[in-house]
Amino acid sequence: MKHLYTVGIAILLLTVSCKEAQPIEITPDNFHASIDNVTKVIIHDIFSPPVASRIYAYPNIAAYEILASNNPDFQSLAGQLNDFTAIPQPEAETTINYDLAALVAHMQLSKQLIFSEDKIEVYRDSLYNVWRNQNEEEFTTSEAYGMKVADHISKWIDKDNYKQTRTMPKFTVQADEPSRWQPTPPAYMAGIEPHWNKIRPFVIEAPDQFKPVPPPAFSMEEDSDFYKELKEVYDISQDITAKGDETEEIAIAQFWDCNPYVSVTRGHLMFATKKITPGGHWIGITKIASKKAGFDNMNTLYAYAKTSVAMADAFISCWDEKYRSNLIRPETLINEYIDDSWKPILQTPPFPEYVSGHSVVSGAAAEALTSIFGDNFSYNDDTETPYGIPVRNFPSFRAAAQEAAISRMYGGIHYRAAVDVGLKQGQDLGKYVVNNLEMKVNNAQASN
């Protein structure tokens, strides 16, 4: 009887041991959820669009690098991204779950790049507890490797000049020059990120590599090109609003608003409503496309990394031009010269007008995504539904980028030149990124 009892205990212990040693499975949904969590923190912490693009790019690169190091069909970005060196390899004889390590590195770097670290930690720890219970040895070795890679990339991050730009002077408004940007209502905020062109780019060689043609020469003469563009913004707005609140143009403007800090004034009270950034919207589109295509972990991180790198460089290129041309917004001039009671459909964001950030970033993101999924990849974009905005359908990424660009005119915050020239600037930059990043082995990437 005692022998049977001993055998029973042994079988029970063996069963428990086998259960504890189950392999840890990481799926694309784990990566989507981690990136979604980063987006929520970006919104909560009210990061500006350029800064948000930086927050997305580095963790996605880290996760991609770890997965690519264990996948012969993909290539490292070491030597391809500016100043980026190869990640460390695991110690010999160590068994690594590369998917887990990639997710660990993603969460660790995300935590370092935002303010509300606790929000990343709570999410991370909920996963860690599950993984430890599944297979403590596999978790421990894989976590250690993920942290090792995160530390390597963190040292690269520290040299991108971001910290230095935090101490540089604020933007000075030149009120004596009529063409120069001035803060706009209702908050009259100072110009955001005037030194963003000093951030180290990822793929492009310099911030002004895709410097656009200058905007039309400033003139308030009614027969000048500039005044005609100003009047066009006003006329479009008047036509749209005369049709009512349910027009297609207003729906397009609101869908692509993506203003992370909208000031609302009620009496003596002013508060902010928080929204996703333009880059966050395209990160959401990347998720939608990856899920529709049924991508595995490797291809999912390939899509996220490529798209976020293109957008990060697009913001550097765009902001380089914004503070060079330093052009005044339509709202300021319309209120002064045409209609002092006019308000744009969208709230004017706090930085110079030319070129349109949405146009540049959307053009770049669309080129990156098209190179991955193809030119006729249709999808339903539900990215804005958390903010009460309905789904829109698109036949391609390029079609979505064109709509995002024109939405800024419908919203009353950009002239036509900023939209058209900005879209081309983003497309040209996006194609450059696509053609200069070798990520997939023997993969013919679209460049048209």
- 233 plus 143 within the same structural domain: no
Task: Report the number of distinct structural domains present in the chain.
Answer: 2
Q: What is the CATH number of the domain that holds 380?
A: 1.10.606.20
Let me know if residue 424 belongs to a domain.
yes
Residue with tokens 């997710």: 103
What is the per-residue pLDDT for 14? 46
- 139 plus 83 within the same structural domain: yes
- 112 plus 195 within the same structural domain: no
Let me know if residue 255 belongs to a domain.
yes
Question: Which pair of structure tokens corresponds to residue 153?
Answer: 């990339």
- 180 plus 83 within the same structural domain: no
Let me know if residue 377 belongs to a domain.
yes
The answer to whether residues 198 and 295 touch, using CB atoms and an 8 Å cutoff, is no
Q: What is residue 180's DSSP assignment?
A: B
Question: Which pair of structure tokens corresponds to residue 92?
Answer: 């010999």
Let me know if residue 344 belongs to a domain.
yes
**CA angle centred on 105, ends 40 and 148, rounded to 5°:** 150
Establish how many alpha carbons lie within 13 A of residue 394's alpha carbon, considering only the half-sphere containing its beta carbon.
24
Residue with tokens 């970005």: 77
- The contacts of residue 234 (CB under 8 Å, 6+ apart) are 330, 334, 338, 339, 342
What is the per-residue pLDDT for 384? 95
Which of 136, 163, 190 is where one domain is finished? 163
- 124 plus 178 within the same structural domain: no
- 285 plus 394 within the same structural domain: yes
Q: What is the CATH number of the domain that holds 136?
A: 1.20.144
Q: What is the rounded radius of gyration, in angstroms, for the C-alpha atoms of the chain? A: 24
Cα separation of 319 and 196, whole Å? 6
- 133 plus 178 within the same structural domain: no
- 140 plus 232 within the same structural domain: no
Q: What is residue 341's DSSP assignment?
A: T
Let me know if residue 13 belongs to a domain.
no
Q: Is 266 helix (H, G, I), strand (E, B) or coil?
A: strand
What is the per-residue pLDDT for 7? 46
Which of 163, 192, 226 is where one domain is finished? 163
Which of 163, 193, 212 is where one domain is finished? 163
Let me know if residue 71 belongs to a domain.
yes
Question: Which pair of structure tokens corresponds to residue 205?
Answer: 């060689």
- 278 plus 178 within the same structural domain: yes
- 346 plus 199 within the same structural domain: yes
Calculate helix-pair angle for 397-410, 248-255, nearest 10 degrees.
110
Question: Which pair of structure tokens corresponds to residue 25?
Answer: 């499975």
What is the per-residue pLDDT for 269? 59
Is the Cα torsion angle 390, 375, 409, 430 positive or negative in sign? positive
Residues 223-226: contacts with CB within 8 Å, 24+ apart?
Answer: 226/415
Nearest to 149 by CA among 93, 69, 80, 82: 69
What is the per-residue pLDDT for 176? 82
Let me know if residue 48 belongs to a domain.
yes
Cα separation of 58 and 200, whole Å? 12
- 138 plus 180 within the same structural domain: no
Range of the domain at 42: 23-163
- The contacts of residue 85 (CB under 8 Å, 6+ apart) are 78, 79, 152, 156
From first to last of the 448 residues of the chain, give the pLDDT tens digit: 445 444 444 444 444 444 556 999 999 999 999 999 999 999 999 999 999 999 999 999 999 999 999 999 999 999 999 999 999 999 887 899 999 999 999 999 999 999 999 999 999 999 999 999 999 999 999 999 999 999 999 999 999 999 999 999 999 887 789 999 999 999 899 999 999 999 999 999 999 999 999 999 999 999 999 999 999 999 999 999 998 778 999 999 999 999 987 876 655 555 567 789 999 999 999 999 999 999 999 999 999 999 999 999 999 999 999 999 999 999 999 999 999 999 999 999 999 999 999 999 999 999 999 999 999 999 999 999 998 999 999 999 999 999 999 999 999 999 999 999 999 999 999 999 999 999 999 754 433 3
Query: Per DSSP, what are the bridge partners of residue 264?
Result: 271
pTM exceeding the 0.85 threshold for the entire prediction: yes
- 139 plus 193 within the same structural domain: no
Nearest to 199 by CA among 323, 306, 284: 323
What is the per-residue pLDDT for 266? 58
What is the per-residue pLDDT for 267? 59
Let me know if residue 443 belongs to a domain.
no
Query: Per DSSP, what are the bridge partners of residue 271?
Result: 264
